[in-house]
Amino acid sequence: MSELALDKMYESTTYRVQSPDGTMFVIIADDESGKPIHIQINIGKSGAAVGAWSHGLARLMTIMLTNGFGINDLIRELSETTTSKLVTTSDGMIPIRSGIDAVCVALMMYRKDKFRGLLETLNGGEPEEEYRGPTLG
C-alpha cells in the first residue's frame, strides 16, 4: 500500500529540524519523476510515545501522497498544530510550537529546495540568485 519497492533505488532528502520533542529528521523520498511518494520521521531520544505518533503521522502522509495529495495539501492540513512548548529554527527566524509544526517546516524546506532545483533547470543549470521581493525606492 504505502511501502516502497525494495528492488528500486529512490532519491531522498533528509531535513534536520528542532522540535519541542527533540531533534527531528524528516526523510522525503521521490519517485523517478521527482514526485514525493514516501515520508519517514525519526525523533532522536524521544521515547516510545513520540516515536509512535511520528511513525503514524509519516504513514498517513505517505498514504496521502500516493493518493493524489501534494506537499502543499499536507502543509495546509497540518500547519498551526501547536502546544505550549516553543523552539525556533537554527537561524531563530521560524517559531516551532509542536512536533507536527516541525514536520511542516521540513515540508516547506523540501518545497523550497524543489523550487530552487526547477529554477536552476530553467536557467540551464545556473543557480538562481535568491529572490527577495521588490525593492523600494
| Cβ-contact 54, 43 below 8 angstroms | yes
Q: What phi, psi does 24 have (nearest 5°)? A: -115, 140
| Cβ-contact 20, 87 below 8 angstroms | yes
Q: Determine, yes or no, domain membership for 89.
A: yes
Q: Determine, yes or no, domain membership for 5.
A: no
Q: Determine, yes or no, domain membership for 132.
A: no
Which tens digits make up the pLDDT trace of 46-90?
Answer: 678 888 999 999 999 999 999 999 999 999 999 888 788 888 877
Q: Determine, yes or no, domain membership for 3.
A: no
Which tens digits make up the pLDDT trace of 86-132?
Answer: 888 778 788 898 999 999 999 999 999 999 888 888 877 666 566 55
Q: Determine, yes or no, domain membership for 87.
A: yes
Q: Determine, yes or no, domain membership for 134.
A: no
Is 98 buried (19+), middle (13-18) or exposed (0-12) by CB count in 10 A? buried
Q: Determine, yes or no, domain membership for 129.
A: no
The pTM assigned to this predicted structure is 0.79
Is 62 buried (19+), middle (13-18) or exposed (0-12) by CB count in 10 A? buried
Q: Determine, yes or no, domain membership for 4.
A: no
Task: Report the pLDDT value the prediction gives residue 136, as an integer from 0 to 100.
Answer: 60
Task: Report the pLDDT value the prediction gives residue 128, as an integer from 0 to 100.
Answer: 57
Q: What's the domain range around 47? A: 11-120
Number of domains in the chain: 1
